[in-house]
Amino acid sequence: MEMLARVCQFSICLSWTLFVVCLGGRTIADDFPQPINTEPANAVLTSPEEALQGIEVPKDFQVTLFASEPDIHQPIALATDDAGRLWVAENYTYSDLPTNFDDSLRDRIVILEDTNHDGKFDKRKVFWDKGKRLTSIEIGHGGVWVLDAPNLLFIPDADGDDVPDGEPVVMLDGWDSQAARHTIVNGLRWGPDGWLYGRNGIMAISNVGVPGASPDQRTRIDCGIWRFHPTRHQFEVVSAGTTNPWGMDWDQNGQMFFINTVIGHLWHVIPGARYRRMYGEHFNPHTYGVIEQTADHFHWDTNELWHDIRKDGKTIMTQTTDAAGGGHAHCGMMILQGDAFPADLQQSVLALNLHGRRINRDTLHRHGATYTARHAEDFLKVADPWFRGVEILAGRAGEIYIADWSDVGECHENDGIHRTSGRIYRLTHTGQTQSERPNVAAVSGLSLEELIDQVDSGWEWLSRKCLLELAERTARGEDVQAVQETLRQQFRQASSEHQKLRLLWALNVVGAATPEILQESLRDPSEHVRVWAIQLLAEADYPSPALLETYRDLAVSDQSGLVVTWLASNLQRLKMADRWAIASAIAQREEYANDRVLPLMLWFGIEPAVLSDREQAVQLALTSKIPLVREYITRRVTQEIDRQPEFTEALLASDLVRKSDSDPAIVKDILLGMTEALRGWRKGPELKGWSSFAETHSDHSDEEIGQLVRELSLVFGDGRAMEELRAIVMDGNASLLERRAAIQALVLARDGELVPSLQQLIGDRYLAADAITGLASFSDPKTGNILVGRFNGFNTASKRAAIATLASRPAYATVLIDAVAAGKIEREEISAFQLRQMQNSSDPKLAKKVAELWPELEALSEEKTAQMQVLRERLSSEKLADADLSAGRSLFVQSCVNCHTLFGEGKKIGPELTGAQRNNLNYLLENIVDPSATVSENFRLSVILMEDGRVLNGVVVGRTEKTLTVQTATEQLVVQRQEIEEMRESKLSLMPENLIDLLTETQVRDLFAYLMSPSQVPLPQADQK
């Protein structure tokens, strides 16, 4: 076998050598490494011609094969120059998971040109071939901008001869180039403001700055959008959040949108916004809330499992996911606009759907303060199972280029890599005529006057290139004074919004957007001109008192929610003291009280100022017509209650809150903010006025207000509240909701007198699981034996709660393990996560007992690859066909449902599990057998030893000065830092590695068959009981 492998490898190398010789003029330096394919030999690549025939295009469009192997391989990014030529980034270094990036290979930049306009390239050059992690390119300012992690490079080519003038210049460094994996920095694009924009993903934190910058001069970023100014060399994070943005564009009004994966696909970019993250925390611990996606829909059936949509054309997509759009993963995005496209498609968002092998289409609509996006009919579909669209770009004459990575795997690469394939398709609207297209050989050949004329061109590509050319010539020092004056005149005379916006952008890039022009524009009839005036003024000198007053007036009276949102966004650039007047005006805009975006943008703007002027903050909380602002300000000042309680006291003493007839909504907002701030606290400082406030509101007609008052009274040491809650716990006439809330509050307060009640409630059919879970927080010598003694009489939920409680403390766990050894409790009742938890305890005797009873834990973890091969053989399609799907569902409920959702059942503790095509065995095996292989640094397991003896295994998902929020496999806990004895961080995933090691061969078959099944099945009869 070893000799055969060597022969095969030699054959591949020989074939590649002959292939390179045959390329002739297509090759470059002889030392360019030979890419080797690692894809299995049985994966047969679809020919370019056959793939082309399988593309279903919309009416009045046609598609051609612009380029394919052997002329192009692994196209990861596209750009066009001022002559319309296509520049292609080829990435060879991205490798399989164990290798990550193969530094024995190199990446390169290739230029393709169609000189005879037949829809296919006929001229090819290699511009640069020294890349190592090449993900993006953009052309402009006398050279080529390149993302080659850890650097943003500039390769000078001032004379435009397609030969670098010298070595690349490092403009920025610090991008993570290892742990980021497939969420690596990407996506260069010029914005209308003259900045160079880019994107970054979630799996690693980068510390970015100019070369030589000290740590405190650098900017942290993980998932988000960023920008860099080409002449000022200024770097900024524009927005933060999501998962792995890999596509973006600006609409006709200069509003930016980007595409994402898993947790939502389309997002509207607002400077300073913080969006939902797939996992992990925002850098600011006082973010509290996040902005959800712009789209009102998903492109997959969210009742399905996202991480099983993988691999080749043999996979089966459910009808519901197919109808929704094809899957969760998106790479590449553009917005159709300009004279090249028909009216009914204008402003359509086109996004490549990776697993759906199609182009999704969404339509943008103003909604609320900002936007929403609605799903339209898919734009294009591809039959080729190798199609992996990663980039889509508009060209010079209205053509659309689509880069096809061409592989049967995807970003996680669990099945090998096919480096010698790649296609670029060219899509055109057949309604165009040659005479309608702009007759411009190269934008760089236009005069300044001609550039101004074309800035407002109906051809979007030409308009953008002219804007960039104006910026370049200004940066080079050309005399643009006459142009500046012409632009000012045309701007003031412009009648259309389209023209006015483009002239405003042109004024900006030539340095003629004076404060006077921008301030005049704040009163323009167009909301988009007003938005851009705010945006550009934010980058100019600090606003004068008069301008700040204008902002306040706009906040009061402007009828555009978009303008008000930009005013809220702009708060983050103002001095703390200057934020309050504008923020207070925005907070009175009751029409946006429940808006998806504006309240959060307002909070992001005022949050840093709250502690610098608590009196202003308290006043705003009391007068705000936006509930979220009131709740979050209360939460922020209450977090400082042990140092400055007077500000929380001031909130409670207000006539708006303290009286019995106070508005319940306001009272509830204040109490919710206090409750969140003090979550996890055992005891707070004495709070002046609390007793009278509690007496007034404890019996409030709103049950939630009464419950919140009782919970807070525990923190403030009110013995009466403790007694009331104990009584509620044992009151059979109280509602289950009240009794459960009372149990949780007393457990949080560590009320030792609660233990006998909890032990008694173990026999309550409705509260048993709550009582058992609560007992984990108390060390009592009776608890372990009680739970073990009654275990076999518990229902399913109570059994799971009992195992979790028994595993939480060494003393309880010892009783549990002894019961397993004695045959009183079945081994199968204990999950791999709980075994790992007990192994991580501070008791070596306990760990030894676990190892003796489960010797397979250590043995099987050493040979994951071999284990996966054995499982592949055991889980053949023939054997899976004999599986008991209902039994598989029961195992899913037992082992997976606490963290993952499938068919609408389960929790979303781990990364949200949604998507389609759930029958790729290879991917399932890799993620179940070796779940820690790709775990992100901010989703790694921590082992926390508490002073009270508990052992917590979980991911830290939230931090305050006094508490940590820990997500375990079963619940989210808030623990006080001072009660932590020891905390150890690991490189493991929350999902245990030995999940299936504890199952029989039949159980493994049933579980996998259920995970791969197309629809829900009933639970077994016994489980239903």
pLDDT tens track for 724-780 = 899 999 999 988 988 998 999 899 888 999 999 999 999 998 999 999 999 999 999
CA torsion 27-29-31-32 (nearest 10°) is -50
String of DSSP letters for 744-793: HHHHHTT-GGGHHHHHHHTT-TTTHHHHHHHHTTS--TTHHHHHHHHGGG
Q: CA-CA distance, 388 to 410, in Å (whole number)?
A: 8
For residue 150, whether the previous peptide bond is cis, meaning omega lies within 30 degrees of 0, is yes
Highest mean pLDDT among 682-696, 827-841, 891-905: 682-696
- The reported pLDDT for the residue numbered 940 is 75
Confidence bin at 240 (pLDDT 50/70/90)? very high
Confidence bin at 437 (pLDDT 50/70/90)? low
The whole-number average pLDDT for the span 150-160 is 98
- The reported pLDDT for the residue numbered 184 is 96
Answer whether 436's CB lies under 8 Å from 462's CB: no
Q: Which residues contact 373 (CB under 8 A, 6 or more apart)?
A: 257, 266, 294, 295, 296, 297, 349, 362, 363, 364, 365
pLDDT single digits (tens) 950-1008: 888 888 888 888 899 888 877 888 899 989 998 988 777 767 666 777 788 898 888 88
Answer whether 925's CB lies under 8 Å from 364's CB: no
Q: CA-CA distance, 1011 to 374, in Å (whole number)?
A: 30
- The reported pLDDT for the residue numbered 414 is 65
Tokens, residue 66: 């612009």
| Cross-strand bridge partners of residue 144 | 139, 155
Confidence bin at 863 (pLDDT 50/70/90)? low
Answer whether 509's CB lies under 8 Å from 229's CB: no
The strand order across the sheet containing 151-156 reads 134-139, 143-148, 151-156, 169-173
Q: Which residues contact 151 (CB under 8 A, 6 or more apart)?
A: 168, 170, 171, 172, 173, 175
The whole-number average pLDDT for the span 571-583 is 98
Q: CA-CA distance, 626 to 628, in Å (whole number)?
A: 6
String of DSSP letters for 17-52: HHHHHHHGGG---TTS------S-TT-PPPPHHHHH
**According to CATH, where is 2.120.10.30 located in the chain?**
2-261+329-436
Q: Which residue has the higher pLDDT, 910 or 839?
A: 839
913 has a pLDDT exceeding 70:
no
- The reported pLDDT for the residue numbered 19 is 35
> The whole model's pTM is what?
0.82
- The reported pLDDT for the residue numbered 405 is 95
pLDDT single digits (tens) 345-357: 999 999 999 989 9
Residue 1021 CB-density burial (10 A; 0-12 exposed, 13-18 middle, 19+ buried): exposed
Answer whether 134's CB lies under 8 Å from 117's CB: no
- The reported pLDDT for the residue numbered 33 is 94
| Cross-strand bridge partners of residue 249 | 257
SS3 252: coil
- The reported pLDDT for the residue numbered 871 is 82
- The reported pLDDT for the residue numbered 174 is 97
SS3 301: coil
Tokens 């053509």 found at: 399
Confidence bin at 28 (pLDDT 50/70/90)? very low
Q: What are phi and psi of 179, to 5 degrees?
A: -65, -25
- The reported pLDDT for the residue numbered 92 is 97
CATH 2.120.10.30, applies to 2-261+329-436? yes
Of the listed ranges 391-405, 457-471, 915-929, the one predicted with least confidence: 915-929
Nearest to 560 by CA among 505, 515, 508, 598: 598
- The reported pLDDT for the residue numbered 22 is 36
Q: Which residue has the higher pLDDT, 331 or 911?
A: 331
Fold of 877-1024: SH3 type barrels. (2.30.30)
Answer whether 944's CB lies under 8 Å from 841's CB: no
Confidence bin at 835 (pLDDT 50/70/90)? confident
Q: Which residues contact 59 (CB under 8 A, 6 or more apart)?
A: none
- The reported pLDDT for the residue numbered 926 is 63
Q: Which residues contact 500 (CB under 8 A, 6 or more apart)?
A: 491, 494, 524, 526, 529
The whole-number average pLDDT for the span 595-605 is 99
Highest mean pLDDT among 1-5, 28-32, 572-576, 880-884: 572-576
24 has a pLDDT exceeding 50:
no
pLDDT single digits (tens) 868-906: 778 878 888 788 888 898 888 888 877 776 666 676 666
Nearest to 597 by CA among 853, 268, 954, 852: 268
Confidence bin at 514 (pLDDT 50/70/90)? very high
CA angle 606, 610, 611 (to 5 degrees): 145
Query: Which DSSP state fits 918?
Result: B
CA angle 332, 333, 339 (to 5 degrees): 135
Share of the chain above pLDDT 70, in %: 89
Confidence bin at 316 (pLDDT 50/70/90)? low
Q: What is the 3-state secondary structure (H, E, C) of 373-410?
A: EEEEEEEEEECCCCCCEEEEEECCCCCEEEEECCCCCC
Answer whether 206's CB lies under 8 Å from 222's CB: yes
Of the listed ranges 263-272, 326-335, 520-529, the one predicted with least confidence: 326-335
124 has a pLDDT exceeding 90:
yes
409 has a pLDDT exceeding 60:
yes
Answer whether 883's CB lies under 8 Å from 1001's CB: no
312 has a pLDDT exceeding 50:
no
Residue 927: alpha-carbon gap to chain centroid: 20
308 has a pLDDT exceeding 60:
no
**According to CATH, where is 2.30.30.100 located in the chain?**
877-1024
Q: CA-CA distance, 322 to 186, in Å (whole number)?
A: 28
Of the listed ranges 120-129, 276-285, 299-308, 630-639, the one predicted with least confidence: 299-308
- The reported pLDDT for the residue numbered 20 is 37
Mean of pLDDT over the chain? 89
